Amino acid sequence: MQRIIKRLDSTHEKLTATVEPLSPQIFTQRPADDEWSVAEILHHLRLVEDRVIKELERGLAGEPERLGFMRRLIPPAIVGNRMIKVKAPQAMNPKAAPGKELGLANFDETRSRLKALCAAHSRDRLRQTVFKHPFLGKINGVAAVSFLGYHEQRHLKQIREVLQKLN
């Protein structure tokens, strides 16, 4: 889990360093009507991470469950590829994204909760917890936490693309 947490921290630091210097106007400006602003991307990341935490907590409260061998082979890294276009589930669409200060605070708070959850449970126990991802299908808890890192990397690339378009 240490490697996964280290990757989460590294990406989180890069994302925060990219977003913090932005003016409130740039933070909330969409490059086009059908594209998300940096604020909306950050809010989406928080919504997804919050959902994963809630589902993992629910799974951890239940009996341990193992996935079949083939299900364990799904690599969460494919989520980081921006060449594969995926439409976010309706519940993960960032409606009413907060301003920069609150958005960053919420994002940091959610990451702290995720890290606390990981610290409270062993890697083996997380492996025995099932998370139902809308596109990857059933994955174990370790893969779900790893997915969040790749998901954040994907959207860090998207933020950089948005900022290029706005400049």
Q: HSE on the CB side for 64, CA within 13 Å?
A: 9
Give the pLDDT of residue 69. Answer: 53
- The SS3 call for residue 11 is helix
Give the pLDDT of residue 110. Answer: 96
Q: What is the DSSP letter of 133?
A: E
Instruction: Find the mean pLDDT for residues 106-130.
Output: 94
Report the percent of the chain where pLDDT is more than 70. Answer: 86
Q: Where are the domains of the chain?
A: 2-166
Give the pLDDT of residue 83. Answer: 57
- Residue 44 confidence class, pLDDT cut points 50, 70, 90: very high
Residues 77 and 150: beta-carbon distance below 8 Å: yes
Q: Under CATH, to which class is 2-166 assigned?
A: mainly alpha
DSSP H or E run through 101:
helix 100-120
Looking at the DSSP bridge assignments, the partners of residue 137 are 133
- Residue 50 confidence class, pLDDT cut points 50, 70, 90: very high
Give the pLDDT of residue 139. Answer: 85
User: Is the backbone of residue 151 left (phi > 0), alpha (psi -120 to 50) or beta?
Assistant: alpha
Give yes or no for residue 74 having a pLDDT over 60. no
pTM of the model: 0.87
For the chain, what percentages of helix, strand and coil (3-state, to nearest 5) are there? 65, 5, 30
Better-predicted residue by pLDDT, 152 or 64: 152
pLDDT digits (tens, 9 = 90+) for 142-161: 989 998 998 999 999 999 99
Distances (CA, A) of 42 to 36, 76, 94: 10, 20, 8
Q: Give Dmax (Cα) for the chain.
A: 51
Residue (of 50, 75, 60) closest to 125 by Cα position: 60
